[in-house]
Amino acid sequence: MPAKRLTSQRGVWNKLRAIGICIFAIMILLPISYVILISITPDSEVGSGSLLPTHFAWNNYVQMWQTVNLAQNIQNSIIISAFTGILSTIIALGAAYVLARFQFRGRKTFLLSLITMQTIPQVMMLLPLFVILVIIQNAINVHLVGQYYTVIITYMTFALPFACWLLLSYMANIPVELEEAGLVDGCTRWQVVRHIVFPLMLPGMVVSFVFSFLLAWSDVLFASVLTSPATHTVAVGLQAYIASGEAGGDVYWGQLMAASLTSGLPIVIIFLFFQKYIMGGLASGAVKG
């Protein structure tokens, strides 16, 4: 009898779950489907009475490369995001190692300031960074605003504290005994880090890279002030479509949606590819312990 009750309950639960998942699927996929639909609708038919266009305008996906210099923007985004990810991860690794493994004076202050840094509103950092860049520019007569390295360094204002925290929590899950064994066997500190810590930290470093990359890729605020036409990221490039509409011109809705999908989907794919690491890191850091 209890067994039977259990199975019938399970049947109800399965049905409820199926309904629930369907509701979520509609909620998630409906907006995305509308974007896909508009991306293949000719501009003349966007905003007309009928939902479905009379014919599909696949050439939105061709023309979007010409209306805005999208290829250049994507390339800029890749360069800037990749360097932000790599530099933040490498520099943070050293700090995370020392913070996770040693007690020293000022450690608590360092940890506390790392958290505080993450709560500072981004918009607050933009203004002084801009002021400082202008001052340096005037002092040494070199153009800094709009350079790759300037954008990369400014992105590290939020990528670096974040990467430190992330790697710190990964480091805490690696047994310290492994390193002690290495030290007892006569390795130097550097050899221990290189041959023991580094390989074990690799998954954590991948996640740190992916998140820092994403932070940089998604940013609009810093990019809209600190990039020049030559270094505009994809987020700024897409704004150009909207800006033309606000200035009274036509918004190429079809091309804008095609370009949005093109700049968003690779990120989604990268993320889903690393999904296991990300979920795993989350679980091991936040729940065990």
Partner 1 sequence: MRETQVEPITSSAANTVSRVGPGVGKLQKRNSPPYWMMFPALLLLIIIVVAPFLVAVYTSFTKLDQYTIANWTHAPFVGWKNYVNAFTQGNALGASAIQSVWVSIAFSLLTTIGITPIGIIAALLVNKPFRGQRWVRAMFLIPYVMPIFVNAITWRLLFMNGWGLIDRILSALHLASKNTFWLIGPHSFWAMVIADIWSSWPFVYLMVLAGLQGISDDLYESAHMDGATPIRCFFSITLPSLRPILGLALLLSTLNHFNNFTLPFIMFGTPPAPQADVLPLNVYVTSFQTFNFGLGAAMSLLTLVLMMIPAFFYIRMLRLGEES
Binders of partner 1 among 139-168, rule CB under 8 A?
153-154, 156-158, 160-162, 164-166, 168
Among 17, 143, 194, 195, binds partner 1 (CB under 8 A): 17
Nearest to 53 by CA among 263, 245, 253, 256: 253
Regarding 215 and contact with partner 1 (CB under 8 A), the answer is yes
- What is the nearest approach in angstroms of partner 1 to the Cβ of residue 58? 19
Residue 141 zone, left/alpha/beta (φ > 0; ψ -120 to 50; rest)? left
The type of residue at 191 is: Q
Among 189, 198, 202, 249, binds partner 1 (CB under 8 A): 189
- What is the nearest approach in angstroms of partner 1 to the Cβ of residue 229? 17
Regarding 26 and contact with partner 1 (CB under 8 A), the answer is no
Regarding 257 and contact with partner 1 (CB under 8 A), the answer is yes
Site string (57-86) toward partner 1, x via CB under 8 A: ------------------------------
* Cα–Cα distance, 12 to 2 (Å, whole number): 15
Among 4, 52, 103, 248, binds partner 1 (CB under 8 A): 103
Regarding 122 and contact with partner 1 (CB under 8 A), the answer is yes
Among 86, 100, 196, 240, binds partner 1 (CB under 8 A): 100
Residue 121, CB-side half-sphere exposure with 13 Å CA sphere:
4
Nearest to 212 by CA among 119, 90, 86: 86
Count interface residues toward partner 1 (CB under 8 A): 120
Regarding 283 and contact with partner 1 (CB under 8 A), the answer is yes
Among 15, 54, 110, 194, binds partner 1 (CB under 8 A): 110
Among 135, 198, 228, 229, binds partner 1 (CB under 8 A): 135
Nearer to partner 1, 30 or 62 (CB): 30
Alpha helices in the chain (DSSP H): 2-39, 60-67, 70-101, 107-119, 122-140, 148-171, 176-184, 189-192, 198-218, 221-226, 234-246, 253-273, 275-286
Regarding 4 and contact with partner 1 (CB under 8 A), the answer is no
Question: 231 and 147 in contact (C-beta within 8 Å)?
Answer: yes
Question: 148 and 77 in contact (C-beta within 8 Å)?
Answer: no
Nearer to partner 1, 52 or 55 (CB): 52
Regarding 217 and contact with partner 1 (CB under 8 A), the answer is yes
- What is the nearest approach in angstroms of partner 1 to the Cβ of residue 137? 9
Write the DSSP assignment of 155-194 as a string of letters: HHHHHHHHHHHHHHHHHTTS-HHHHHHHHHTT--HHHHII
